Structure 1
Amino acid sequence: MTLTRSVPLPWLASLALIAACSLSSAARAETLSAEEAVGRAASQNPSLRAALLDATAARQAVAAEEGARRPALAASVTGQYAKTLDAQTPRAGSASVESSVALRYTTDVGTALEVGTSADSRWNLAEDRTLGPAYGARAYVSARQPLLRGAGADAVLAPAAQAQAQAVAAERERDLAASQIALEVLQAYWELWYAEQAVAVQEQALAAAERQVNDARARAETLGTGTRVDVLQFSTAAASIADALSQARAARTERAIELGRALGMDPVRAASLRATGAPPSLGPAPPAAALARAAAERSQELAAMRADLDALRARVGAAEDADQVRLDVFATASAGTEWGNDLLTGRSLPGMQPAFSVLGGLDLELPFGGGRAAADAARARAQLAAAEARYRARLDAITAQISALRVSLDASADQVALASETARMAGELAEAERQRLLLGTSTSADVVKAEQTLREAELRKLRAAVSELTSRFQLEHAAGALLERFASVLPRRSS
């Protein structure tokens, strides 16, 4: 029988090129830990940045409402010139300058207070002379107390209470966004880790397949103890592994780009990302019932919804207050004096003695036909009831989700144990088949099949480990605990 040396297969040259490119890329790779990836997302992810700015804007709304409650100072200066249109005194007229300063404040129960002073100077302009100036001064205190609409702290402080509730809701939504982004980053990170491990499994399998091809060729062409079928069998297996390796490398790049997207990186830079380490052991998870009870308080989503409910309750209170008759009681007390009274002798006060006055009364405003306030109040109550129903529905959904995720986590843990045992037995079987081939009691097809089973078992073991870890992170996110795990690298307040 004549044996000829076969020409190197085309896929070997292609594989060499892929390996060279891979080594060049690895030289530029950026390796991250899971915590570093989450921390980078905290500073670069645009969605989290938007949530931080929303929380900042909501806090500014609270500051605006607090500023609106501060006392206000009002001051004015006015001047007037008037000319009399009288044929008998064509040049007669008057001029005056007036100024006023007042301090205004509304108390928490709705009492509008104002304390102020005013002063004026007046001149009478005659045809041949100017009389004056004459001076006047006045101080006053006024108060207006709503009795129905606008009365009480609930009505007066409703805008501030609503702004505060909305700010709390924005902060909880910011925390929810941070937890969601952390979950996305962790899922993408460990998917990248799995893709890298899959590449390593395929590379090791290809190296072993190449050795088997060389050994089979040596046995067939040199020693004469093998056959051409063995060479073809192992060459076919090596080509299949090379194809799987190419796909695994493409999948690894895709996972790196996906992780880079969550980190706010462009695809070109993200393609060089590498995951390091191994899936950590997080310890036993609490029972589903305990997680469900804790989620009612720890869930950022439910906390945001509760804050929205508080804002709606404040809005209902304000709308119901507006749906009332306006009835105010008011009073003003003032004291004033004039001097330089050669102009207005009939109104002058001898010796600059002050004059006093007190004004008081009731002010009623009743919308004709009911107005729009009643409809606004009814709409606010309906919106509050709808929001309360949505909260109860979401609470039930989160409770069910936690129970389902807890079952999934237990199943993932079982799969890890089963996959590890399967991989161990597959390894022993592959080694046994290799030894049997050397003894001549097995065939190359049996060895290829056993090693393919080993690769699949190794990949299932890696997939089970990643699935268990991501299931745990999903469970913690649903229960509101994931943010606490990464509190050191995730922002909890806006800067």
Structure 2
Amino acid sequence: MIAAFRFVGPWYRRFACAVTVQPSGGRELQLPRFPLGFAGAGAPAHKRNPAMRTVNLKIERVELTLSKPWKNSCWRIPTLGKLFPCIRVHLCSFAVSLLLLSLPLRAAETNLNLSIADAVLMALDHNPAVAVERQTTPITRTFEREQRAAFDPTLSYSVGRGKSDGLRMLSVNTNQFSVTSHSEGADLNLSTLLPAGTRLALDGGVSNQVINSADPFYTARAGISATQPLLRGAGTAVTLANLRQARLDTRMSEYEFRGFTEAFVAQVERACWDLELARQRLEIGYSSLKLAEDQFNETVERIKLGALAAVERAAAEAEVALRRQAVINAESALSLNRLTLLQLLQSSRKMTAWDRDVSIRLPDTPPEEPGAVFAHVEQALRMRPEMNQALLALQRNELDVVKTRNGLLPRLDLFVTLGRSGYADSFGGSLRGEMDRGNDFAIGLTGDWPIGGRQNLAQLERATLTHEQQNFALDNLRLLVQNDVRSAHVEVLRCQAQRLATAATRRLQEEKLRAETEKFRIGKSTALLVAQAQRDAAQAQLDEVQAAADCREALIQLYRLDGSLLLRRHLDAPGADPVAENSSR
């Protein structure tokens, strides 16, 4: 950026300043002259404007011109941005400071000249809707980590101390005596769940109890226990079902993002073609208006010369008015399409530049020829994000059936407990078992069985019916996908044929216009017929550019519907691998 400041006036006094800001590659902007207070090294404090505000402008080069009123000489001081990265300018009003602050930002917003690929990449990088959808998969992946946390080890502990007072009676007589008991202890437990459903636990603890100030008695114990479900909850198919469903949800979110990305890329490409189509229609409108005005001027001249009747003026003038209406509509359509594309290219976090122009560099190669329709259908059945999402949803529902079917079984768990205890009159001694040692062992079964089990039966029936429903929905989706792809293929063939037909029509209409114009000049036609020929020629030109754009957009739609748009544009996105049927993991 280049900023030039021109100060005119006596030294140490208020100056008049003209500021010119020119960004790199942009047009030069010049501010109106406004009063400026100078706060240089030699300026007295009482001469400075107290209402002035300091603004820092980072520049690459500064040209400062000071002119004395009593002398015509000037000094030009070039300043390198590397040595002096910013200058301090004191503004005399808040409004002027806002103007200076906003101008560099606006000057930095230059017009855009992009190819379609550049526009797509820019939209993917800046559009907030893409950023919103991009966060879906990381959010969904948190549920996967949450389900995996069920197999994390759990450490539990407790520490306590207590005291109790009471009366006791001897069995040999009725004498009573008071008893005071002091107790304290600590327990530690580490447990984890294995994928097979087995729950392992390691526990240890130490306790001490003192009765009526007797000698302390410490007990320490360490043990291991295992609980294995035998019916309900047994096996990895049930234990890992929730985790597998969370993984399927993550993959579904990836295919959902891929589908959104394909639709968004297609939207950006269509917006580029619509913008250039609107610009071509406007150019055709301008040329048609100029042709109508030339015809009107010629008609007026011939009326003045007496070669035509005065009634011919109305038809020529009406055609000019009609062409102006078309130009107004074309200008409005161009502005609307420009705003649509800018909305796709911009980010809400940055200052938007809705007034800048966008020009698209169109490819000079002819449109691609579509492949065989069955190849596009097979591609769609494998790569369409909706198909892959439906297959994953079906696999997820199969896991629901597994869980609910297992829920019909009664709960029957086998447990085994092993432990070793030590006794002593001290804490360390209890760990070594100085006074005595003991072992404990337990094995058994525990379980329950809800009588009737109507809740579990209802859940199983719902999961089974939902699975059948999703199978039918998958079959229906296959039919819809095939219909979409075949219809898009037919549309591509129609647009290609229409492009050739409209080109021939345009050439014939231009020949017709030239013939009608020559007939008018020799007095064998009327202004009305010439105007009609001009209208037909302009419409033929519009139809030709419309057919060319329709052909490109039909190809974009076909590639989006068969799931190959991102691959053809060399864009990488999650969900590039197709889902195999009946492959839930």
TM-score, structure 2 normalization = 0.72
* AA at the equivalent of 2:192: Y
* AA at the equivalent of 2:156: A
Answer yes or no: is the 8 Å Cα contact 1:333–1:359 preserved in 2: yes
Find the partner of 1:42 among 124, 132, 135: 124
Answer yes or no: is the 8 Å Cα contact 2:207–2:220 preserved in 1: yes
* CA offset digits 1:93-139 (Å, max 9, x no partner): 22222222222122111111112211122322x2xxx2333222111
User: 1:11-410 maps to which residues of 2 (within 5 A)?
Assistant: 30-85=112-167, 88-90=176-178, 92-124=179-211, 126=212, 130-221=213-304, 223-263=305-345, 270=354, 274-278=358-362, 281-340=366-425, 351-410=434-493
Moved more, 160-169 or 317-326: 317-326
Alpha-carbon separation, structure 1, partners of 2:159 and 2:433:
28
Secondary structure class of the residue paired with 2:361: coil
**CA shift for structure 1 position 226:** 4.5
Alpha-carbon separation, structure 1, partners of 2:329 and 2:432:
104
Secondary structure class of the residue paired with 1:131: coil
Secondary structure class of the residue paired with 1:354: strand
Alpha-carbon separation, structure 2, partners of 1:318 and 1:238:
76
Alpha-carbon separation, structure 2, partners of 1:278 and 1:230:
42
In structure 2, the CA distance between the partners of 1:244 and 1:350, relative to structure 1 (3 Å rule), is: closer
Alpha-carbon separation, structure 1, partners of 2:374 and 2:327:
44
Higher fraction of helix: 1
**CA shift for structure 1 position 252:** 2.3
In structure 2, the CA distance between the partners of 1:431 and 1:492, relative to structure 1 (3 Å rule), is: farther
* CA offset digits 1:130-155 (Å, max 9, x no partner): 23332221111111111110000101
Alpha-carbon separation, structure 2, partners of 1:432 and 1:272:
43
**CA shift for structure 1 position 30:** 4.5
Answer yes or no: is the 8 Å Cα contact 1:81–1:94 preserved in 2: yes
Alpha-carbon separation, structure 2, partners of 1:116 and 1:42:
55
Alpha-carbon separation, structure 2, partners of 1:119 and 1:477:
69
Alpha-carbon separation, structure 1, partners of 2:133 and 2:401:
27
* AA at the equivalent of 1:72: T
Secondary structure class of the residue paired with 1:109: coil
In structure 2, the CA distance between the partners of 1:340 and 1:233, relative to structure 1 (3 Å rule), is: same
Secondary structure class of the residue paired with 2:528: helix
Secondary structure class of the residue paired with 1:74: strand
Alpha-carbon separation, structure 2, partners of 1:183 and 1:261:
15
Secondary structure class of the residue paired with 1:202: helix
RMSD over equivalenced CA pairs, Å: 2.8
Larger RCO (CA under 8 A, 6+ residues apart): 1
* CA offset digits 1:169-198 (Å, max 9, x no partner): 111111111112222333333223222211
* CA offset digits 1:255-288 (Å, max 9, x no partner): 334444555678x955755342336634211111
Task: Name the structure 2 match of 1:443.
Answer: 526
Secondary structure class of the residue paired with 2:216: strand
Answer yes or no: is the 8 Å Cα contact 1:256–1:272 preserved in 2: no
TM-score, structure 1 normalization = 0.85
Give 5+ residue unaligned stretches, structure 1: 1-26
Give 5+ residue unaligned stretches, structure 2: 1-108, 169-174, 576-585
Secondary structure class of the residue paired with 1:276: strand
Alpha-carbon separation, structure 2, partners of 1:484 and 1:76:
59
In structure 2, the CA distance between the partners of 1:348 and 1:206, relative to structure 1 (3 Å rule), is: closer
* AA at the equivalent of 2:290: A
Answer yes or no: is the 8 Å Cα contact 2:229–2:411 preserved in 1: yes
Answer yes or no: is the 8 Å Cα contact 2:414–2:443 preserved in 1: yes
Task: Name the structure 2 match of 1:6.
Answer: none
